[in-house]
C-alpha cells in the first residue's frame, strides 16, 4: 500500500514541476500543480481581494444601492458566490431605467446562435408550403426572421412574435388543407363528368377509373406515380391509334375522290355512248339499202363493247375500293382493342391483378431510388406457395389459378398502401416493403401466414389450407434490386428445406 505524501513533500514537488514546465510561479499555477500531485480537484480559489477592490469602486446612488453594497461586502466575507451574484444584480436593478434594462438582459439566459439560425431556416422552409396569399403572415415572418438574425435577441419579444406567427401558420395550414380538399373534389367532379361523356370509349373509361382511384385522399406520391405510368402507356397507344386514324381518313378521302372521278368518267362515257346510239338511230332511219346497215351496226356494236369494258373496269375498281375500306376499318378496330387492354396488361398480371415482372422491375427501381435519396430502408420478400404442384395435380389447374388469386387478395388485405405486390413467376410472389427493417419485414410475413390460416380457400365445398415459405432481405448499401431478391430467394429456399410454412431472413 502506497503511503500518502505529506504536505511539505507535495509543496517541494509542486515547485519542481513549475520549474520543469517553465510556468510562472503564480499562486494559481502553484495551486494547480499542488492539487494535481495531491490528487485533489483543482478548484479555483475564491477571489476575495479582487472582489473587495470591485466593491470599493462601486458608489451607491440611493438607499437601496447602499444596502446592497453592504450585502455585497458580507457575501465576499462569507466566500458566497450566490450572495455576491444576488447583491450585485440587486445593486444594478436599483439604478436608473437604462441600467434596469441592462439588468433584464443580463438576467435572461442567452439563446445559442446556432439555435436561432436553425429556427430562422425552419421558418423559411415552412413559408413556401403555406402560399403567398396571406400578406399579414408574410410580414410577421419577415419581422421574426429579422429579429432572429440580430446579434442580441430579446427572449420575451421573441416568444411573443413566435406565438403570433404560429397562430397565423395554423390558420394558413388549415386553409391550405381546405383548398387541397376542394381542388380534389373539383378534379374528381371533372373526371366523373368526362367519364359520363365518354361511356362508349372503353379505353378512355379505364383511364377515368384509374384517375378516380388515384385522387381519393389520402394522396400518395407512389400511387400518383403509378397511375402516371399507366396513363403514359395508354397515351402511347392513343397516339398510335390517332395517327392511324388520320392516315385512314386520308386514305378514305383519296378513295372517295377516286370514286367520284371514276363516276364522272362513267357519266361522261355514258353520255357519249348515248349520243352515239341516238346518232345511229337517226342514221338507221335514213338507210335505204341493207348493205349500208352493216357498217352502222358495226359502229354500234363497238360502242356497246367499249361501254361494257368501262363498266366492268369500274365495277372492279369499286370492289377494290370496298376491300380497302374494309381492311382499314378492321385495322382501326384492332388498334382500339389493343388500346382497351394496354393499361391493364402492360405492367399487371392478368390472373392476379398484381404487378408482373416488368411492373416489378420498374417499382423496384423507383423504391431503390427513394432509398438512396432519403437514406431509408427497404425490405424485399419472396414467397412461394407450399406444395402448389400437388394442389394442381389433385384439384386441377383452374383451382390452382383460383388459389393464386386468393393468396394475392389476402396479401393485399394485409399490406400497407405503400407496399408493392408482384407476381414473380408461377406460384412465387415478391412484396416490396419501404421504410421497413429486416425484423419488421419478417414479422409482416408471419402475420400474412396467420391470416391465411384464418381465410380458408374453398374448392367447391372443400376447405384448402394454403401456406407459403418466404425469405426476407433488407436492401444493403449499393446493392441492386436483383441481388436483394436473390438473397430473399436463398432464404426462402432454406425455409422450404426447414419444413415449409416458415419465414427466414437473408
Rounded average pLDDT over 303-331: 72
Where among 107, 135, 157 does a domain terminate? 107
Spell out a b/e string for 164-185, using b for 16 or more CB atoms within 10 Å of the CB, else e.
Answer: ebeebbeebeeeeeeeeeeeee
Show which of 166, 186, 206 is a domain's final residue: 186
446 falls in which pLDDT band (50, 70, 90)? very high
Is residue 90 located within the same domain as residue 140?
no
Residue 165 binned pLDDT confidence (cut-offs 50, 70, 90) = confident
Residue 439, C-alpha cell as written in the block? 425484423
One domain, residues 389 and 499: yes
What span, in angstroms and rounded, lies between the C-alpha atoms of 429 and 382?
Answer: 6
Q: How many domains does the chain have?
A: 4
Predicted pLDDT at 190: 63
Identify whether 78 is part of a domain: yes
pLDDT of residue 213: 58
In a domain, residue 205? The reply is no
Residue 237 lies in a domain: no
- 413 plus 383 within the same structural domain: yes
Same domain, 20 and 89: yes
127 or 466: which carries more pLDDT confidence?
A: 466
Asked whether residue 81 falls in the same domain as residue 40, the answer is yes
- Residue-wise pLDDT for 37-74, tens only, equals 877 766 666 777 777 777 777 877 887 888 888 888 88
Determine, yes or no, domain membership for 199: no
Candidates 108, 427, 451, 479; catalytic one: 427
487 plus 407 within the same structural domain = yes
Among candidate residues 299, 319, 345, the one where a domain is terminated: 345
Residue 262 has which C-alpha cell? Answer: 371514276
Contacts of 78 (CB under 8 A, 6+ apart): none
133 found inside a domain: yes
Q: Is the pLDDT of residue 494 over 70?
A: yes
Query: Both 101 and 117 in a single domain?
Result: no
Residue 291 has pLDDT above 50, yes or no: yes
pLDDT at 107 over 50: no
Q: Tens digit of pLDDT for each residue in 204-244?
A: 655 666 566 556 665 555 556 656 666 666 666 667 766 76
Mean pLDDT value of segment 184-191: 65
Give yes or no for residue 201 having a pLDDT over 70: no
Q: Under a CB-based contact definition with an 8 Å cutoff, are residues 433 and 444 in contact?
A: yes
Judge whether 196 lies within some domain: no
- Mean pLDDT across 450-476: 89
Q: Are residues 398 and 495 in the same domain?
A: yes
Same domain membership, residue 453 and residue 387: yes
Q: What percent of the chain has pLDDT over 70?
A: 67
DSSP alpha helix (H) spans, 199-292: 202-214, 221-286
Question: How far apart, in whole angstroms, are the C-alpha atoms of residue 223 and residue 416?
Answer: 12
Comparison of pLDDT for 316 and 354, the residue scoring more: 354
362 shares a domain with 498:
yes
Residue 283 is a catalytic residue: no
Query: 332 lies in a domain?
Result: yes
Residues 75 and 145 in one domain: no
- Domain identity same for 170 and 53: no
Domain that holds residue 117: 113-186
Cell 483543482 sits on residue = 42
Which strand (E) or helix (H) includes residue 289?
none
Whether 285 is covered by a domain: the verdict is: yes
The pLDDT confidence band at residue 100, using thresholds 50, 70 and 90, is: very low
Q: Are 466 and 455 in contact (CB under 8 A)?
A: no
Amino acid at each position: 500500500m502506497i503511503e500518502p505524501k505529506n504536505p511539505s513533500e507535495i509543496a517541494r514537488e509542486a515547485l519542481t514541476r513549475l520549474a520543469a514546465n517553465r510556468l510562472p510561479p503564480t499562486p494559481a499555477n502553484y495551486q494547480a500543480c499542488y492539487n494535481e500531485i495531491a490528487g485533489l480537484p483543482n478548484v479555483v480559489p475564491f477571489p476575495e481581494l479582487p472582489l473587495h477592490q470591485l466593491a470599493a469602486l462601486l458608489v451607491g446612488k440611493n438607499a437601496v444601492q447602499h444596502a446592497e453594497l453592504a450585502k455585497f461586502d458580507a457575501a465576499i466575507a462569507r466566500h458566497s458566490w450566490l450572495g455576491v451574484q444576488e447583491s450585485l444584480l440587486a445593486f444594478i436593478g436599483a439604478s436608473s431605467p437604462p441600467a434596469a434594462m441592462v439588468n433584464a438582459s443580463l438576467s435572461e439566459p442567452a439563446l445559442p446562435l446556432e439555435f436561432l439560425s436553425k429556427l430562422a431556416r425552419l421558418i423559411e422552409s415552412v413559408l413556401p408550403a403555406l402560399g403567398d396569399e396571406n400578406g399579414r403572415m408574410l410580414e410577421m415572418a419577415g419581422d421574426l426572421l429579422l429579429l432572429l438574425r440580430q446579434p442580441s435577441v430579446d427572449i420575451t419579444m421573441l416568444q411573443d412574435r413566435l406565438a403570433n406567427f404560429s397562430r397565423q401558420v395554423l390558420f394558413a395550414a388549415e386553409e391550405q388543407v381546405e383548398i387541397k380538399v376542394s381542388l380534389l373534389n373539383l378534379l374528381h367532379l371533372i373526371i366523373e363528368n368526362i367519364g359520363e361523356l365518354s361511356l362508349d370509349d372503353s379505353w378512355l373509361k379505364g383511364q377515368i377509373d384509374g384517375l378516380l382511384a388515384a385522387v381519393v385522399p389520402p394522396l400518395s406520391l407512389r400511387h400518383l406515380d403509378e397511375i402516371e405510368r399507366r396513363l403514359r402507356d395508354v397515351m402511347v397507344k392513343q397516339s398510335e391509334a390517332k395517327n392511324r386514324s388520320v392516315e385512314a381518313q386520308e386514305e378514305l378521302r383519296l378513295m372517295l375522290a377516286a370514286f367520284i372521278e371514276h363516276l364522272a368518267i362513267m357519266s361522261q362515257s355514258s353520255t357519249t355512248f348515248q349520243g352515239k346510239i341516238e346518232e345511229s338511230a337517226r342514221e338507221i332511219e335514213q338507210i335505204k339499202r341493207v348493205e349500208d346497215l352493216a357498217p352502222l351496226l358495226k359502229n354500234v356494236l363497238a360502242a356497246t363493247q367499249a361501254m361494257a369494258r368501262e363498266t366492268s373496269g369500274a365495277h372492279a375498281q369499286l370492289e377494290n375500293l370496298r376491300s380497302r375500306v374494309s381492311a382499314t376499318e378492321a385495322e382501326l378496330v384492332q388498334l382500339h382493342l389493343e388500346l382497351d387492354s394496354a393499361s391493364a396488361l402492360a405492367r399487371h398480371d392478368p390472373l392476379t391483378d398484381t404487378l408482373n415482372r416488368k411492373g416489378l422491375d420498374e417499382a423496384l427501381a423507383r423504391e431503390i431510388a427513394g432509398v438512396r435519396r432519403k437514406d431509408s430502408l427497404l425490405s424485399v420478400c419472396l414467397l412461394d406457395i407450399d406444395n402448389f404442384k400437388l394442389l394442381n395435380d389433385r384439384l386441377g389447374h383452374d383451382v390452382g389459378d383460383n388459389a393464386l388469386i386468393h393468396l394475392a387478395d389476402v396479401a393485399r388485405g394485409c399490406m400497407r398502401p405503400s407496399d408493392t405486390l408482384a407476381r414473380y413467376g408461377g406460384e412465387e410472389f415478391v412484396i416490396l416493403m419501404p421504410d421497413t427493417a429486416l425484423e419488421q419485414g419478417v414479422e409482416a410475413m408471419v402475420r400474412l401466414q396467420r391470416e391465411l390460416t384464418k381465410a380458408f380457400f374453398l374448392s367447391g365445398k372443400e376447405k384448402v389450407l394454403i401456406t407459403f415459405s418466404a425469405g426476407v432481405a433488407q436492401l444493403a448499401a449499393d446493392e441492386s434490386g436483383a441481388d436483394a431478391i436473390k438473397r430473399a430467394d436463398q432464404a426462402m429456399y432454406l425455409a422450404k428445406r426447414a419444413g415449409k410454412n416458415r419465414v427466414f431472413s437473408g
